[in-house]
């Protein structure tokens, strides 16, 4: 039996709206920036404030629910996904954009039960676009239903990816040669918006035909993976195998054909799973 998580969706939307207000207020200010895993992995006080706001609001409403939050994990909490209802939160996806005032930043909230995502919300703050999907109930942007392009031909595809925050040689070589091989197919173009969540939603809207990424974390894409599949898209591991939320690898595409073609050319550099398993 499918749980009816409709009330949780409404609550999720209400706190995403509050989070956006905090992000908009802070957007134009000068930020104090700290580093995490690399000199290009940034965090600000607003990331932490927004995550605390979201988690404390959810705790008050649903005291038994669990959390995987980007900044809590950065602070040392281990991200283990159990079968319990779990909120997976990225308070600001696109922190580098946020620091530079490059206008793509999103709040990403996914709700997972029995390791299955029940709903996902991505609020692209500056664009004022609220993407949402509930399992089996379709995907929407500001209440308009979403449908992927259905594109089957990789040579006509616009592909989105992320440069990420890795700066070591192996990661950078793999990353740039992946882009090189895609351009050589040739695809129509490669784009990057600086937020994995919004990138993936662009596949759901048919603005792009595919997205792939190695190295992002579960909180970046948990919500948007459901949004893409509910919009009729395909979500896989970059190996071409089944998508694994904790593996830090993803392809989201308009069709199986395009997803598999991308899986043929994209190589993964090693990165530790989010759950450390």
Query: Smallest distance, Å, CB 270 to ligand IPD?
Result: 15
Site for ligand IPD in 95-124 (CB under 6 A): 95
Site string for ligand IPD, 156-185 (x = CB under 6 A): ------x-xx--------------------
Query: Smallest distance, Å, CB 165 to ligand IPD?
Result: 6
- Roughly how many angstroms between the first and final C-alpha of the chain, as a whole number? 30
Q: Can residue 194 be called a binding residue for ligand IPD (CB under 6 A)?
A: yes
Q: Can residue 93 be called a binding residue for ligand IPD (CB under 6 A)?
A: yes
Q: Can residue 70 be called a binding residue for ligand IPD (CB under 6 A)?
A: yes
Catalytic positions, written as ranges: 70, 90, 92-93, 95, 220
Query: Smallest distance, Å, CB 114 to ligand IPD?
Result: 26
Q: Can residue 71 be called a binding residue for ligand IPD (CB under 6 A)?
A: no
Provide the Cα torsion 112, 198, 153, 155; round to 10°.
-140
Query: Contacts with ligand IPD: how many residues (CB under 6 A)?
Result: 16
Q: Which of 12, 69, 120, 215 binds ligand IPD (CB under 6 A)?
A: 215
Q: Can residue 51 be called a binding residue for ligand IPD (CB under 6 A)?
A: no
Measured at the CA of 241, the angle between CA 212 and CA 188, to 5 degrees, comes to 30
Residues in contact with ligand IPD by CB under 6 A are: 70, 90, 92-95, 162, 164-165, 194-196, 215-217, 220
């Amino acid at each position: 039996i499918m749980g009816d998580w409709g009330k949780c969706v409404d609550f999720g939307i209400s706190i995403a709206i509050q989070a956006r207000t905090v992000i908009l207020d802070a957007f134009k200010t000068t930020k104090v920036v700290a580093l995490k895993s690399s000199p290009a992995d940034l965090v600000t006080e607003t990331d932490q404030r927004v995550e605390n706001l979201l988690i404390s609001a959810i705790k008050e409403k649903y005291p038994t629910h669990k959390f995987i939050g980007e900044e809590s994990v950065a602070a040392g909490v281990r991200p283990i996904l159990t079968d319990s209802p779990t909120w997976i939160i990225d308070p600001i996806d696109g922190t580098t954009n946020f620091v530079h005032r490059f206008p793509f930043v999103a709040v990403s909230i996914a709700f997972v039960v029995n390791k299955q995502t029940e709903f996902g919300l991505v609020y692209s703050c500056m664009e004022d676009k609220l993407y949402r999907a509930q399992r089996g109930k379709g995907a929407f942007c500001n209440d308009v239903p979403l449908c992927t392009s259905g594109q089957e031909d990789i040579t006509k595809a616009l592909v989105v990816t992320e440069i990420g925050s890795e700066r070591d040689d192996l990661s950078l070589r793999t990353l740039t040669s992946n882009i090189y091989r895609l351009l050589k197919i040739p695809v129509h173009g490669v784009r990057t918006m600086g937020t994995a969540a919004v990138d993936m939603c662009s596949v759901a809207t048919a603005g792009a035909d595919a997205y792939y990424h190695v190295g992002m974390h579960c909180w970046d894409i948990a919500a948007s993976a459901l949004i893409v599949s509910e919009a009729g898209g395909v979500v896989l591991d970059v190996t071409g195998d089944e998508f694994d939320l904790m593996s830090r690898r993803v392809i989201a595409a308009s069709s199986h054909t395009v997803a598999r073609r991308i899986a043929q050319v994209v190589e993964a550099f090693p990165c530790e799973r989010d759950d450390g398993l």
